[in-house]
């Protein structure tokens, strides 16, 4: 006569064989998603740093420095930027960094009024600066394993990421 523990040994192996692919899929998808979120956070933080850097500059200056700060982590006044890119997608052909300030976007970034009656004084007029990172492509490391979910794509393209701050006058 067999004991109850001995009879269920085969059933446990069958259950494991059925659940293991699902658990592996969920693990890989979680890792891929967390890597994409971490990359998104880096892009946002670098855009914020570049905008903060430009907010201390006069309108029309520092655009290359801001782009190098966003992509390479340190401001450089000439291209190519010094060092290596922070994320692999920063060197992709579709990725771009654009800057809007009081000089190159005067209709939206120059002399913004901070009072309801639109009076113009030095205390109520500000200039804005915006840094936008567009078409960042995060590589999907487990795309082969997740092909049924992500299709044939090997990267995830983020939408435009913009940060706007007040600029010195």
* pLDDT the model gives residue 146: 61
- Of the candidates 101, 168, 100, which has an alpha carbon nearest to the alpha carbon of residue 133? 100
Residue 35 and residue 100: Cα distance in Å, rounded? 30
- The DSSP call for residue 58 is P
- Of the candidates 133, 120, 138, which has an alpha carbon nearest to the alpha carbon of residue 45? 133
Q: Is the Cβ–Cβ distance between 168 and 57 less than 8 Å? A: yes
- The burial of 157, by beta-carbon neighbours within 10 Å (0-12 exposed, 13-18 middle, 19 or more buried), is given as middle
Ramachandran category for residue 69: left, alpha or beta (phi over 0 → left; psi -120 to 50 → alpha) = alpha
pLDDT tens figures, 84-135: 999 988 888 889 999 998 888 887 777 665 556 555 555 556 788 999 999 9
- Checking if the pLDDT of 150 tops 60, the result is no
Q: Is the Cβ–Cβ distance between 162 and 136 less than 8 Å? A: no
């Amino acid at each position: 006569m067999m004991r109850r523990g001995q009879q269920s040994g085969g059933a446990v192996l069958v259950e494991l064989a059925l659940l293991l692919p699902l658990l592996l899929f969920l693990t890989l998808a979680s890792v891929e998603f967390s890597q994409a979120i971490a990359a998104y956070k880096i892009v946002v933080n670098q855009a914020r740093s570049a905008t903060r850097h430009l907010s201390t500059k006069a309108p029309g200056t520092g655009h290359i420095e801001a782009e190098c700060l966003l992509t390479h982590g340190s401001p450089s006044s000439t291209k190519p930027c010094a060092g290596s890119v922070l994320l692999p997608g920063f060197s992709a052909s579709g990725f771009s960094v654009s800057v809007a300030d009081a000089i190159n976007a005067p209709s939206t970034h120059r002399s913004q009024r901070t009072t309801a009656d639109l009076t113009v004084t030095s205390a109520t007029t500000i200039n804005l600066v915006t840094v936008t990172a567009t078409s960042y492509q995060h590589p999907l490391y487990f795309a082969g394993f997740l092909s049924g979910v992500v299709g044939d794509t090997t990267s995830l393209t983020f939408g435009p990421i913009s940060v706007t701050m007040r600029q010195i006058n």
